[in-house]
Amino acid sequence: MGVALRAPVALRHLVVAGGQRKRYIGGNRKRGHAQRRYFTQPLEILWRRDPHSPFRIPAPAAARSEANASSQPPPLENASFEEYYKEQRIVREEEWDAFMSVLRRPLPATFRINASCRFWRDIFSKLENDFRGSLESEVSDEHVEDAISPLPWYPGNLAWHLKFSRKQLRKNQALESFHEFLKHGSEVGNITRQEAVSMVPPLFLNVQPDHHVLDMCAAPGSKTFQILEMIHQSKEQGLLPRALVIANDFKVQRCDLLIHNTKRMCTANLIVTNHEAQNFPSCSLAMDHGKPQGLEFDRVLCDVPCSGDGTIRKGHDMWRKWNSSTGNEIHLLQVNIAMRGIALLKVGGRMVYSTCSMNPVENEAVVAELLRRSGNSVELLDVSNELPELVRRPGLNTWKVKDGGFWFQTHEDVPRNRKNVILPSMFPSSESTHEGHTVNNGIGANSNHSTSFSRDFNIEAAGNVNCDSAKRLDYTSSRVDSNFSLDRCIRIVPHDQDGGAFFIAVLHKVSPLKESQMIEVRKTEHPLLTDRMEKLPKQHQEEIDKKLMNQHSTVTEALDDDKLIDEQKHLSMDNETSKDNNLIGVRMVSDDVEYGQAESGDRSHRTKKLHNEHRWKGVDPVLFFKDNSVIENIVSFFGIKESFSLEGHLVTRSTDNARRLYYISKSVQEILELNVQVGEQIKIASLGVKMFERHRSKDGCSCAYRLSYESLSLLLPYMSKRILYASPIDFQHLLQYRTINFAHFVDARFGQEAASLMPGCCVVVLREGLQNTDYIAMDPSAIAIVCWRGKATMIVLVSPPDRKELLEYRFGFKAFSVEDESSNHKID
Ligand SMILES: C[S@@+](CC[C@H](N)C(=O)[O-])C[C@H]1O[C@@H](n2cnc3c(N)ncnc32)[C@H](O)[C@@H]1O
């Protein structure tokens, strides 16, 4: 291999001639580097001439359109992918064909029911009774059996597996109503469409309703949402859980996605932050009664950015883009993020490290390095007794590292000029790479690279690793020390459960990290972005930038980002939040605009001032809302009981001039107070649930704020005023028609009560039969909507998807479309 490739220049000609465009796999073509790369990856270069090659350079437009005419999808092949994973022996030789054939099949769709949502039981019975049978009879024979079934390992049968891919769901007419059901459920937060394997890491966190949880790399938020479901599911009826969830992502755009997706949960217990996870602030204060005060979490989820090849079933793109170097490039960042997670974990707490990659360099190598760096402070848990029905495989004990065309077994084998890119920590037989740390006695390594394809997962007892007094490892050992226990990691492989691949390791902190281990992880430099960067010519820097961008774009998750971003853009144009968006027809909104304009001079001045005082540029500061006269006015207008304190629980963002007031839980309040004390170390992108919104109606309302539907279920049991009780028929009409004249209610008494109420925001509660009105609103499961009592009409202030939800689950309207407001017949 490669013998004929001693003339890199000639090869370059081949590439340029065949590809019509100068493109390089990597390296600096002006220096020997490119030539070396060419020399070491000769087959890849040659493949680029092959029309079936995954590395083929795109043809010019004319040729492309010709090719499109026959529009065959690109082959699901990538020889270097196969070579890499065969060499890593991630599955046994006899399983290889099954593994590859499952990888080439589309991924079946899976979803989860939000057990903290009001209608979860109805959704459950809909699935069992309406859809299960009909899906099995409507679709082709091939899928008849178990077209839809619960995932056996997910608690409470809440997660479901379909025998169709997402594409089939979209395209197959027979599945249309089911697809609609899923879409609508996702929109209102009752259902989360998420890859099955991606639901596993939060389950191993074992989250309790009083836990403080940090989700370090959280966007787009499917796992954050799952954690929120857990803390809200087990809460006492009508009470907020004591838990706190901080969901963080370092990309602003992805934080927006995270905010949008978690908003569906309407939770007061969430803070979304925007930091590099490896530098997540600790908010440390001076000692408090001899104990240092700062951020500490009971649970940390470290679902790090990765090459994402565990999601390769989701599309052709991943096959084409796959490259063994991505794992090497991202390894150090993964270690640094996870180390920060360990530092922020409470003693006794649990951290889950996970990736959707199959690459041991991103998985076992990272876990091994964490154990090395943290010494005896952290242990890798054996969780084989948890989720017994989940089919899993043990972590690998040995692997190799590939760089360019070369495989290395130890760091010593790596050429000098690559040693700063191919790090010792990537190898199973590594010493710690972290300055100041020594390898712990109990940690061993293995250089056993048997040529047999099958892997022996059993680990022999300890004792084969010799450590001298300087605690240096003896690499001649041929066995992995069992204290290292990498077999305790979990590998989920696609052909075991017809899903994607995932890697999970559960770590337990047994004692505080030592001072030396607490050294702040220095700002992570991507191996491609070290000081070499400055020395590179501009053109090459751009190439690297592009490469990094591509790499980020290969960081994948269960949700399709582009689609989500589109959805989000669409959403933000339409409205502020998913739960409270149908205010177009309500005059207060246009009044708000007038109000904003009148005040804008003063406001922009104040905003500017606040921004200058505020630490984070481009992010609105979070302020406790302390205007007592406004709070008193709200309390008295809605008759809010003393047991529901607003004081210290309402916050606002400065630029909106307190247009929206967000309610935060006690746990969030404490973190905010700490953040203020430490000089705003935490960059907060969003927090709490919107509870009140300023209006400027000319209807003569005495309270400047109206309620938000998002927080109605939280507040209603504590409200004693502004509540009307409607019969089922009038309640249904309100949902259907949105605006009803007082005289047109079926129950004339209700119309009179509405007419005699002072203008302004009110709540209409569904009253069934002869229910006693003294108790209905106090029941947290009461069905209620936010309305506006106008001059002669009652106007519903609830978004179309939320109205549709109520109509569907409470009134059995199956195919009612509320999106098209113009088609709604108004009663007036
Ligand atoms: C695998 S995805 C996380 C998926 C997410 N946990 C979920 O379940 O929806 C990795 C995320 O890490 C973010 N990320 C990348 N580098 C980061 C860093 N240094 N700090 C924090 N987040 C980072 C990416 O923007 C991406 O959203």
Instruction: Answer yes or no: is 217 a known binding residue.
Output: yes
Task: Dump pLDDT digits (tens) for 645-655.
Answer: 999 999 998 77
What are the tokens at 724? 């009307």
Instruction: Answer yes or no: is 220 a known binding residue.
Output: yes
For residue 278 and ligand 1, the question of a CB distance below 6 A is answered with yes
Give yes or no for residue 279 having a pLDDT over 80: yes
How far apart are the C-alpha atoms of 432 and 74, rounded to whole Å? 42
Distance 825 CA to ligand 1 centre (A): 46
For residue 341 and ligand 1, the question of a CB distance below 6 A is answered with no
Asked which of 141-150, 302-311, 371-380, 674-683 is least confident by mean pLDDT, the reply is: 141-150
Q: Are strands 345-355 and 297-303 parallel, antiparallel or unpaired?
A: parallel
Asked which of 162-166, 201-205, 491-495, 770-774 is least confident by mean pLDDT, the reply is: 770-774
Cα 346-524-256 angle, rounded to 5 deg: 75
**Which residue of 250, 275, 299 sits with most ligand 1 atoms within 8 Å of its CB, as the best mutation to test the pocket?**
250
For residue 555 and ligand 1, the question of a CB distance below 6 A is answered with yes
| Mean of pLDDT values over 623-640 | 95
Give yes or no for residue 745 having a pLDDT over 60: yes
Instruction: Answer yes or no: is 219 a known binding residue.
Output: yes
- pLDDT of res. 467: 29
How far apart are the C-alpha atoms of 262 and 578, rounded to whole Å? 10
- pLDDT of res. 48: 40
**Which residue of 217, 306, 556 sits with most ligand 1 atoms within 8 Å of its CB, as the best mutation to test the pocket?**
217
Exposure string for 212-243, b = 16+ CB within 10 A, e = fewer: bbbbbbbbbbbbbbbbbbbbbbebeeeebbbb
Q: Which atom of ligand 1 is nearest to the CA of 216?
A: 21
Give yes or no for residue 468 having a pLDDT over 80: no
- Tell me what percent of the residues of the chain surpass a pLDDT of 70: 68
Asked which of 374-383, 604-613, 626-635, 717-726 is least confident by mean pLDDT, the reply is: 604-613
Distance 279 CA to ligand 1 centre (A): 14
For residue 767 and ligand 1, the question of a CB distance below 6 A is answered with no
Nearest to 298 by CA among 229, 241, 244, 218: 244
How far apart are the C-alpha atoms of 225 and 263, rounded to whole Å? 9
Give yes or no for residue 262 having a pLDDT over 50: yes
How far apart are the C-alpha atoms of 123 and 135, rounded to whole Å? 15
- pLDDT of res. 820: 44
Q: Which atom of ligand 1 is nearest to the CA of 226?
A: 8
How far apart are the C-alpha atoms of 714 and 261, rounded to whole Å? 20
Catalytic residue among 283, 302, 306, 356: 356
Q: Which residue has the tokens 């000609």?
A: 13
For residue 217 and ligand 1, the question of a CB distance below 6 A is answered with yes
Quick one: pLDDT band at residue 538, thresholds 50, 70, 90?
A: very low
Give yes or no for residue 716 having a pLDDT over 60: yes
Length, in residues, of the chain:
828
Complete DSSP assignment for 216-283: SS-TT-HHHHHHHHHHHHTSPTTS--S-EEEEE-S-HHHHHHHHHHHHTT--SSEEEE---GGG----
What are the tokens at 532? 């070499």
CA nearest ligand 1 atom 13, residue: 217
How far apart are the C-alpha atoms of 625 and 714, rounded to whole Å? 19
- pLDDT of res. 440: 32
Return mean pLDDT, the chain.
76
Asked which of 22-26, 479-483, 725-729, 793-797 is least confident by mean pLDDT, the reply is: 22-26
Distance 304 CA to ligand 1 centre (A): 6
- pLDDT of res. 201: 98
How far apart are the C-alpha atoms of 37 and 39, rounded to whole Å? 5
For residue 487 and ligand 1, the question of a CB distance below 6 A is answered with no
Nearest to 190 by CA among 233, 245, 143, 246: 233
Q: Which atom of ligand 1 is nearest to the CA of 306?
A: 1
Quick one: pLDDT band at residue 315, thresholds 50, 70, 90?
A: confident
For residue 277 and ligand 1, the question of a CB distance below 6 A is answered with yes
Give yes or no for residue 367 having a pLDDT over 80: yes
Please say if 356 is a catalytic residue.
Answer: yes
Quick one: pLDDT band at residue 765, thresholds 50, 70, 90?
A: very high
| Mean of pLDDT values over 131-155 | 76
- pLDDT of res. 698: 79
Task: Dump pLDDT digits (tens) for 379-394.
Answer: 999 999 999 999 999 9
What are the tokens at 584? 């177009």
The answer to whether 405 touches 41, Cβ cutoff 8 Å, is: yes
Q: Which atom of ligand 1 is nearest to the CA of 261?
A: 9
Q: Which atom of ligand 1 is nearest to the CA of 524?
A: 19
Phi/psi of residue 181, each to 5°?
-60, -45
Give yes or no for residue 220 having a pLDDT over 90: yes
For residue 250 and ligand 1, the question of a CB distance below 6 A is answered with yes
Give yes or no for residue 518 having a pLDDT over 50: yes
Higher pLDDT, 620 or 795: 795
For residue 219 and ligand 1, the question of a CB distance below 6 A is answered with yes
Q: What Cα–Cα distance (Å) separates residue 136 from each residue in 148, 152, 292?
A: 8, 19, 59
Give yes or no for residue 240 having a pLDDT over 90: no
Task: Dump pLDDT digits (tens) for 581-602.
Answer: 333 223 332 222 222 333 334 4
| Mean of pLDDT values over 313-327 | 88
Distance 220 CA to ligand 1 centre (A): 8
Distance 253 CA to ligand 1 centre (A): 12
**Which residue of 251, 363, 564 sits with most ligand 1 atoms within 8 Å of its CB, as the best mutation to test the pocket?**
251
How far apart are the C-alpha atoms of 625 and 752, rounded to whole Å? 37
CA nearest ligand 1 atom 10, residue: 305
Task: Name residue 739's beta-bridge partners.
Answer: 795
Phi/psi of residue 423, each to 5°?
-90, 155
Give yes or no for residue 539 having a pLDDT over 90: no
For residue 305 and ligand 1, the question of a CB distance below 6 A is answered with yes
Asked which of 44-53, 442-451, 561-570, 764-773 is least confident by mean pLDDT, the reply is: 442-451
Instruction: Answer yes or no: is 218 a known binding residue.
Output: yes
Task: Name residue 191's beta-bridge partners.
Answer: 113
| Mean of pLDDT values over 624-643 | 95
Find all residues with CB under 8 Å of 787, minimum gap 6, and list them. Answer: 724, 734, 761, 762, 763, 764, 794, 795, 796, 797
For residue 218 and ligand 1, the question of a CB distance below 6 A is answered with yes
CA nearest ligand 1 atom 19, residue: 276
Give yes or no for residue 443 having a pLDDT over 90: no
Distance 243 CA to ligand 1 centre (A): 22
How far apart are the C-alpha atoms of 2 and 498, rounded to whole Å? 38
Quick one: pLDDT band at residue 158, thresholds 50, 70, 90?
A: very high
171 alpha carbon, distance to own chain's centre:
27
Distance 548 CA to ligand 1 centre (A): 15
How far apart are the C-alpha atoms of 430 and 410, rounded to whole Å? 8
For residue 195 and ligand 1, the question of a CB distance below 6 A is answered with no
- pLDDT of res. 285: 80
CA nearest ligand 1 atom 18, residue: 276
Quick one: pLDDT band at residue 174, thresholds 50, 70, 90?
A: confident
Q: Are strands 191-193 and 291-293 parallel, antiparallel or unpaired?
A: unpaired
Task: Dump pLDDT digits (tens) for 33-73.
Answer: 333 333 333 333 333 444 444 444 444 444 444 444 445 55
Give yes or no for residue 457 having a pLDDT over 60: no
Distance 561 CA to ligand 1 centre (A): 12
For residue 564 and ligand 1, the question of a CB distance below 6 A is answered with no
Any idea what DSSP says for residue 483? Answer: T
Q: Which atom of ligand 1 is nearest to the CA of 201?
A: 8
CA nearest ligand 1 atom 5, residue: 218
How far apart are the C-alpha atoms of 595 and 599, rounded to whole Å? 6
Q: Residue 587, Cβ neighbours under 10 Å: how many?
A: 16
Distance 261 CA to ligand 1 centre (A): 14
Quick one: pLDDT band at residue 396, thresholds 50, 70, 90?
A: very high
Task: Dump pLDDT digits (tens) for 175-187.
Answer: 888 899 999 999 9
Helix (H) or strand (E) holding 125: helix 120-125
| Mean of pLDDT values over 727-732 | 95
How far apart are the C-alpha atoms of 394 and 338, rounded to whole Å? 20
Instruction: Answer yes or no: is 221 a known binding residue.
Output: yes
For residue 392 and ligand 1, the question of a CB distance below 6 A is answered with no
Distance 305 CA to ligand 1 centre (A): 5
How far apart are the C-alpha atoms of 800 and 736, rounded to whole Å? 10
For residue 362 and ligand 1, the question of a CB distance below 6 A is answered with no
Phi/psi of residue 658, each to 5°?
55, 35
Find all residues with CB under 8 Å of 453, minimum gap 6, and list them. Answer: 86, 89, 92, 93
Quick one: pLDDT band at residue 145, thresholds 50, 70, 90?
A: low
Complete DSSP assignment for 554-606: H---SS-HHHHHHHHHHHHHH-S-TTS---TT-HHHHHHHHHHHHHHHHHHHH
Distance 155 CA to ligand 1 centre (A): 26
What are the tokens at 274? 């925007």
Nearest to 127 by CA among 89, 161, 93, 168: 161
For residue 187 and ligand 1, the question of a CB distance below 6 A is answered with no
Find all residues with CB under 8 Å of 757, minimum gap 6, and list them. Answer: 722, 724, 789
Helix (H) or strand (E) holding 191: strand 191-193
The answer to whether 440 touches 470, Cβ cutoff 8 Å, is: no
Q: Which atom of ligand 1 is nearest to the CA of 277?
A: 20
Name the 3-class secondary structure at 629: helix
Higher pLDDT, 85 or 132: 85
